[in-house]
Structure formats: C-alpha cells, structure tokens
Amino acid sequence: MSRFRGYGAARALVHLGLAFFLVGGAPVRAAGPLIWALGDSLTAGYGLPPSDGFTTQLEATLRRAGVAATVRNGGISGDTAAQGRARLLWGLRGLGATPDLVIVELGANDMLRGLPPTQTAANLDLILVELQRRHIRVLIAGMKASPNLGPDYRAQFDAIYPALAKRYRARLYPFFLDGVAGKPALIQGDGLHPNATGVKIIVGRMVPAVKGALGRDG
C-alpha cells in the first residue's frame, strides 16, 4: 500500500473474542473445516462492522463456493509478529478444536515500525515451527514493505514470506492487500485500511489459495 506511513496511529487494540460452543462441557466441532486467521488489524476488520470484516466475508465466500468452513477471527490491531507469536498457544487453545488451517497474516506492523526484517522473520519462523509440530496446515499471507523504507529494507522484508513458505512447504499468498493497495476508493477514510469493498476484493482473490491450502484445489 502506498499510504502505509502513519499506520501506527491506527493501532488501537481490537479484540474480537473467540467463540466457544459447549454442549455438556465439551466443545462442538463444526462439520466443515475450521480456519483460524492469526493476524493484525487487516484480519481483525479494523474500522468495519463485523459483517464486513475479513473473516466474516471469507467464511461466506467459501460457503458459497461449496466449502462449509468456519472462520475464526484471531486478528488484533497493532500486533507485531512477536505479539502474534506470544499469543499463539492460548489462541489455539481458545478455539476448542485443532484448526484445519491457520492463515498467518503478520509483519505489517513490524515493517511500519522499521523493525529489523531478521527479527520479523525469526518470530514468523517460530510460529510456523509450532504449527508444523502440531501438523496444522498453514497459508502464509505476505506483506510488502513501503517504498519510503528504501530498497535495502524492502528487499530484505519482501523476501521473508516466500523464503518461509519454501522452508516449511506452506502455501503462500504473496500480498494480502493485492488489488487494493494504493487505490483510495477501496480504502477507509484513514487512508490505511481496506473498506468493505476492498475486503471483498481481498477475499475473492485469496479464496483459491485458501482452498488450495485446505487441499481443495478442484
């Protein structure tokens, strides 16, 4: 996104609580696949009503495509890769069941704070190590660095996601904001976050990768 600068001002913590479904004290598992989106404000649906957020739109689009998925929101605005890693285990426990897929969408706030790409990569790596240890499929949703950070930073940061996908043989969606970044008509008034139409475009572009990560390419 060409207007990343100033993003940090929008980092209000948005906690969209994890839902629990209990019958006789035991969690009930949905019939279809369970997907958890572990991320920041982009998956949290910052500035949008819940019905327009990423996870709600993704769930609805998958169901229209014949995949009866349940998509849980694990996005917290402002989170860095380190903060996402710190809450990974309790987030998984809170789901009440092992997810069939985790969408990992983290790193944008690291970049906006100018944190070293090696630090971001290390924290994402630890997240992927844990998910691989638990035999949970992963879709890595990548991010791209803002041009104002310079070519060296951009080269290092942008290389994080394809390198991790290759290392862990995980499905990669190269750029979460593909088709939306730099287009004011698809961005909220803060100039930073996608509006409902922007989220719809993101979801539409990402669904094939989600289905592929679930092993449902056909």
d(CA 8, CA 146): 13
d(CA 9, CA 33): 36
**Catalytic residue, candidates 40, 41, 77, 100:** 41
**Catalytic residue, candidates 100, 158, 193, 217:** 193
**Catalytic residue, candidates 2, 15, 51, 190:** 190
The residues, ordered by sequence, that sit 6+ positions from 203 with a Cβ below 8 Å of its Cβ are: 54, 57, 58, 61
Based on the residue annotation, tell me whether 135 is a catalytic residue of this protein.
Answer: no
- 140, 173 Cβ separation under 8 angstroms: yes
Q: Which residues of 42-79 are buried (b: 16+ CB within 10 A; e: fewer)?
A: bbbbbbbeeebbbbbbbbebbeeeebebbbbbbbbbbb
Based on the residue annotation, tell me whether 193 is a catalytic residue of this protein.
Answer: yes
Based on the residue annotation, tell me whether 178 is a catalytic residue of this protein.
Answer: no
Catalytic site positions: 41, 190, 193
